[in-house]
């Protein structure tokens, strides 16, 4: 499950999964906000290794951690 983080909060750290792959949301979903508890800045997405493999295979829609929104990445 992808995570949204702003440039200030940066790469998600200390979680069960490693989020090593950065992708910007496409122009339709640029209004996604950072998922850090105390932040409301515009964000980009971080994908796990499995999600990155899916991305490289052509998948462009990923569920973000709040489980209510899918986001297309470029």
State yes or no: pLDDT of 67 exceeds 60: no
Decide if 56 contacts 28 (C-beta within 8 A). no
Domain residue limits, the chain: 3-72
pLDDT band at 69 (very low <50, low <70, confident <90, very high): low
pLDDT tens digits, 10-64: 988 887 889 999 998 776 656 788 888 888 888 889 999 999 999 999 998 888 8
Segment 2-13 mean pLDDT = 88
pLDDT at 41: 87
Q: Has this prediction a pTM greater than 0.85? A: no
């Amino acid at each position: 499950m992808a995570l949204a983080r702003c440039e200030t909060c940066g790469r998600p750290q200390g979680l069960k999964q490693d989020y090593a792959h950065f992708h910007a949301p496409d122009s339709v979903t640029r209004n996604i906000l950072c998922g850090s508890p105390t932040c409301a800045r515009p964000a980009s997405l971080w994908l796990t290794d499995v999600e990155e493999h899916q991305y490289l295979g052509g998948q462009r829609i990923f569920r973000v951690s709040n489980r209510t929104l899918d986001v297309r990445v470029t």
